[in-house]
Every structure is written in C-alpha cells, then in structure tokens.
Amino acid sequence: MDLALISMPWAIFNRPSIQLGCLKAYLGQELQTCRVTCFYPFLDIAAAIGFDNYRLIAETPWAAEALYCGLLFPKMQKAAGTVFSRTLKRIVTTDYPRLLEILRLQHDQWLEQQDFSQCSLIGFSVCFSQLPASLYAARDIRKKWPGIPIVFGGSTCTPAMGRSLLKIFPEIDFIITGEGERALKELVLHCTSQEPLSCPEIISHHEKTGNIQAAGCGEIVNLDDLPLPDYSDYFQHIRQKNLGFFPVLPVEFSRGCWWNKCTFCNLNLQWHGYRFKHCQQMTAEINELAQKYQCLDFTFTDNALPVKESTLFFEAMAGDSRDIRFFAEIRTLKSRSVYTRYCKGGLNSVQIGIEALSDSLLGRMCKGTTVMDNVAAMKFSQEAGMTLDGNLILEFPGSTAAEVEQTLAALDKVFPFHPLSAAAFFLGHGSPVSCSPEKYGITTITQHPTNKKLYPPEILANLDMLIKSYRGDRTLQTRLWQPVRKKIAVWQEFHARRKNPSVPALSFRDGGSFLLIRQELPDLPTLHHRLKGLSRKIYLACEEPITKKELLEIFTQVTKEQLNTFLAGLEQKNIIFCSGDSCLALAIQSP
C-alpha cells in the first residue's frame, strides 16, 4: 500500500518536517507493507521565489496565509493583497500579484509531476500558516484523483477546527486531531482493509447520516520507543534539485509541556500529558541523524525541554568533539551554571519564555516566573554565549497602568542585553484566557479582523479558527502599551547600530581591588564607573540574584541603610537590578 504525506508552504524551508519524518518512520516500523513517501513542495516554492523572500514570508504568518488565500478564494484576492502588504513590513523583491502567479505555476507543475493514483491515502501535515496552501492542494488533488481519501492532521487540526474543516471542505475526508502515529496507522488500515475506526483522534463524515463521528488509539506512552525520524525524502529532493544549503534537523525531546499553565498559551491542545525521551535515547538519535544526513545543526521542536534529562543530555554533548549546535525553546533556568552547561553542550541559540517584565502580570499569565528570573535569564544566557530570542507580550487583557510602568522601569535595566520582540497579545483558541474570558474582562469573542480579509464570510462563519479577536479593553490596552512599544523599538535600534556586538553593552573588568564597569547607552558617550574595595565586593556578590538580607549577613560591617543607599545609587545608574528584596548585578565580565 502506498501513502503520500505532504508538507505545504510556509513550513521553514531549511528543515524537513518532523511530523512527516516521525510518521514515515513509525509506519515503516509498524506496517511493513506500507510505502510512505513524503513530499516537500515548499522546497520548489522557496527555490522559485528566492530563499530570502521565502524566509521573510514564512516569518510573517498573516502575509503567508494571504498568498494561498488569494489563490484559494479568488474573490478575496484584493483584500488578501492588502493584508500581505500591510503585514510584510520588510521588503520582498516580488509583489503580491506576481507571487500569486509564481505559486500557481509551481503548484500546477508540481501536481503535473506527481502520480498519486496508487495511493491508499494522502495526508497533509497542517501547522501554523500551512492551512490555506494545504486546502488549495487538497482541492486540486481531489479533482485529479477523486477516489483517494485525504486526511489533515497537525497542530492546526484541533477538534473544533477539524470538525469545521470537515463540514466546509468536502475534499477532506478525515481529520486526525491529536498525536499522529497510532491514529494514522489505524486510518491506513481502515482505508486499505476496511478495518473499523475506533480511534478518538480520528474524525470523519459518517457515511449514512452525514454526522461527524469521533471514535482511542491513545498516545505513545514511552517516546523512547519511537524510531528515528526518516528525513530521506527531503534530502533526496534537495539533491535532485541541487539546492545549496545545509539543512537544520528538527528533533524532539518531549511532547506537551510539563508546565502547561500559561494563560495565553494554546500550544498543547493536541497533547494529553507530558512525555519525554531519556538522555541516552536523545544522544543516540543526534549521533545517528548527524551521521546519516551529515548535518551539525539541530532544532528542538519541544514546547519545554525536560529539565533533568536535558541537563544530562547537554552535559553529555559537552564532551563531544564535533561542532554540533542546537536551538531550543526553554523556560527560564534557575541557575547561572545551567546556562553555561547547556551552552557548552551546544545549545547556542534559545528562545526563552520571558513574556512580561511585571510580577503581577506574570502572575496573571501563570508563567511561574518573576521579573528577577527573567532579567537573570537574559543576563546569564548572554554571559554563557547564547543567542537569545524572546517576546514581550503587550496588551494582555486587564493590564494596568502600574504594570506598564513596572515594565518600562525593567526595560531600562535589560537595555544592555539582546532585545526582545514586542508581541501583541492574541486570543488563541483553547487557551485558558479564551476558556474563561470573563476573568480577563473579555465580553465577546469574535473572528479576527484579518481572517475576515482572507476567508469569504460564508466560509469563515463556519470555521473555528485558532486565532480569535475579542471585545473588552483592547482600545485601552493599545494606548497603555504604546510607550513600551516605542521603548522596545529604541532598544532594538540601539543594538542593531552597535559597532561591536561581541562586546557586551554593559561589562566589567576586575582589577582585584577595584572594578571597571563600561556602559554603552543610546546617543550618549560611553560611561565608565569604578567600584573600589567593599563596593567591588558587594557588586560581585550580586552576580547571581541575592537578597539584601544575605548581603547583610556576608558584609557585617555594612548597615542596612548604607546598603540600601549604595544599591539605590547603582540602580539609578542602571547597573544593578533590584526587585523586592533581591538584587542582581547587570554587568557581564568582559570576554
């Protein structure tokens, strides 16, 4: 039996799909007679429009969706074109109408080259902005090979979204709403041997009544049992088309999130619990993948790395002589030494879930972190040599003027570190905020206005989209957060214009009995501060967060008032951060 699995634009072009790689490997292991071929049409699109253009579009989800929505719904082209130009802030060397033409041509050529006639099932992995492109391809595949069932799965296919997709788009026969492996195996057996469906993660049209039925395959209990992802089709495509880049290989340490409490988050809708691989398994996978595909760059697809096993893993990788590098999304780590150990193990690029610089806001977001944790994370990751990306969520419903003030004050302190990105709050379907909107002052949940420009009204009215809009205090929030938005822009510009980014913007050199602190500031000459004797010792004692009580226990010759006056002076200069009773020196030792 043949099975085709497809990943459409706007998946990141220099990575194979982990979803497809995992499913191919699993089915190959479980169903020996099943031949799975994975298709990556996004590679041809990237080559056709240019890798830089592709990357820019893929990084701008609304612009990305606007392209295939324009093809899928021709009457929406004008409105979708405005979404494309408004959201894609950076320059793409081709305009919207020309891009549509290229996409259409590429799509037709790709379809012309395929022969799906022997397939028992065709599957689309639909994540992030892949929905319109997948719908566009499914429609044409159905026209050309009408008898072959089509299944959609992936993070976009939540139960509610899946049900609405099935109702509206007749070319979709099945939706897999959760983890793919076992459900897809059952579906393949159903399509080839008519075995009954019992898996609750598969939803389909009931043949007689037209009702949608949901029937439990359950999830893989032990992720160590999963085979190595199979990326061979992706590499074959790259070789055939002679595409000149080194891919980054996606790997997964865990599924779900061990924290799973953040009130804005809907990233874990498809998982029913946190599971992780053990360090030995992860290390073996990395070794095998590096060897098999001759790649040295890996990206963890995890929402939150498993704390104990990943620490063991990076310690093991630190002893590896190869130049293997990792990217991962992590929660703030509590200790300075862990950042160093992770970085020595190859984790040189991280996205840290900072989200806010106000303690009460972090509390309402249920992040389980404090502003001090966040400031320390920014300092320690930079000190360890990691590249840090992170977001500051603006306009979170119910934010107060005092929270915005606390954020602005904290921004002065984190100015020397790699800037965060401003991310306006969006209401994600299934997030705790969307499930209890009244708690956040949300009176009505509505369709997102941008979706109204991308999807025809009669379709959108029946689609349970993942991104929603709402009525509540939006106007007030936009106004409140304006100064933060401006300050982040200044912060970003300052770092973009720095002449020597390898030198920290705030650094110190230790002279044994004195410290020289160097501080770069925007539009001002560089400042120099000298801390002598006891002042030096106290500053160095604050290299990790420490309470004033602990400082007084170490420096018994100092009174509480003297300590407070000293720290207040350093705070005013923005070279120390104090929050509640804790302090953290902000300067990083000069490399």
The residues binding ligand SF4 (CB under 6 A) are: 257, 259-262, 265, 267-268, 303-304, 331, 353
CA distances from residue 326 to 251, 309, 364, 543 in whole angstroms, order as listed: 10, 15, 32, 26
- Which amino acid appears at position 450 of this protein? T
The dihedral built from the CA positions of residue 125, 127, 130 and 132, taken in this order, carries a sign that is: positive
Of residues 124 and 300, the one with the C-beta less far from ligand SF4: 300
Nearest approach, Cβ of residue 349 and ligand SF4 (Å): 17
Nearest approach, Cβ of residue 435 and ligand SF4 (Å): 14
Of residues 187 and 257, the one with the C-beta less far from ligand SF4: 257
Of residues 80 and 466, the one with the C-beta less far from ligand SF4: 466
Nearest approach, Cβ of residue 363 and ligand SF4 (Å): 14
Nearest approach, Cβ of residue 426 and ligand SF4 (Å): 13
CB 166 within 8 A of CB 212: yes
Of residues 120 and 266, the one with the C-beta less far from ligand SF4: 266
Of residues 1 and 307, the one with the C-beta less far from ligand SF4: 307
Of residues 41 and 390, the one with the C-beta less far from ligand SF4: 390
Nearest approach, Cβ of residue 125 and ligand SF4 (Å): 20
Nearest approach, Cβ of residue 407 and ligand SF4 (Å): 18
Q: What is the DSSP letter of 260?
A: -
Phi, psi of 582 (to 5 degrees): -100, 150
CB 21 within 8 A of CB 11: no
Nearest approach, Cβ of residue 256 and ligand SF4 (Å): 8
Of residues 126 and 304, the one with the C-beta less far from ligand SF4: 304
Of residues 23 and 304, the one with the C-beta less far from ligand SF4: 304
Q: What is the DSSP letter of 379?
A: H
Of residues 467 and 516, the one with the C-beta less far from ligand SF4: 467
CA distances from residue 483 to 120, 209, 394, 486, 490 in whole angstroms, order as listed: 57, 56, 11, 5, 11
Of residues 259 and 555, the one with the C-beta less far from ligand SF4: 259
Rounded CA separation 449/521 (Å): 40
Of residues 81 and 430, the one with the C-beta less far from ligand SF4: 430
Structure tokens at 183: 């459900």
Of residues 164 and 369, the one with the C-beta less far from ligand SF4: 369
Of residues 200 and 428, the one with the C-beta less far from ligand SF4: 428
Coil/strand/helix, residue 348: strand
Rounded CA separation 428/469 (Å): 9
Nearest approach, Cβ of residue 420 and ligand SF4 (Å): 15
Nearest approach, Cβ of residue 258 and ligand SF4 (Å): 8
Q: Which residues contact 99 (CB under 8 A, 6 or more apart)?
A: 49, 67, 92
Kind plus residue range of the DSSP H or E element containing 37 = strand 35-39
Coil/strand/helix, residue 151: strand
Rounded CA separation 267/270 (Å): 8
Nearest approach, Cβ of residue 261 and ligand SF4 (Å): 6
Nearest approach, Cβ of residue 97 and ligand SF4 (Å): 38
Of residues 204 and 263, the one with the C-beta less far from ligand SF4: 263
Coil/strand/helix, residue 163: helix
Nearest approach, Cβ of residue 265 and ligand SF4 (Å): 3
Rounded CA separation 290/283 (Å): 11
Neighbour-count burial for 175-203, b at 16+ CB within 10 Å, e otherwise: bbbbbbbbbbbbbbbbbbeeeebebbbbb
Neighbour-count burial for 106-125, b at 16+ CB within 10 Å, e otherwise: bbeebeeebebeebbbbbbb
Closest to 62 in 3D by CA, of 148, 156, 131, 120:
131
Nearest approach, Cβ of residue 331 and ligand SF4 (Å): 5
Q: What is the secondary structure of 409-458 as a DSSP string?
A: HHHHHHTTSPPPEEEE--EETTSHHHHSGGGGT--EEEE-HHHHHHS-HH
Nearest approach, Cβ of residue 259 and ligand SF4 (Å): 4
Token match 């073996």: residue? 284
Burial label for 206, CB within 10 Å (0-12, 13-18, 19+), is exposed
CB 148 within 8 A of CB 119: yes
Measured from the Cβ of residue 567, the count of other Cβ atoms closer than 10 Å reads 18
Rounded CA separation 296/292 (Å): 11
Measured from the Cβ of residue 126, the count of other Cβ atoms closer than 10 Å reads 28
Of residues 175 and 262, the one with the C-beta less far from ligand SF4: 262
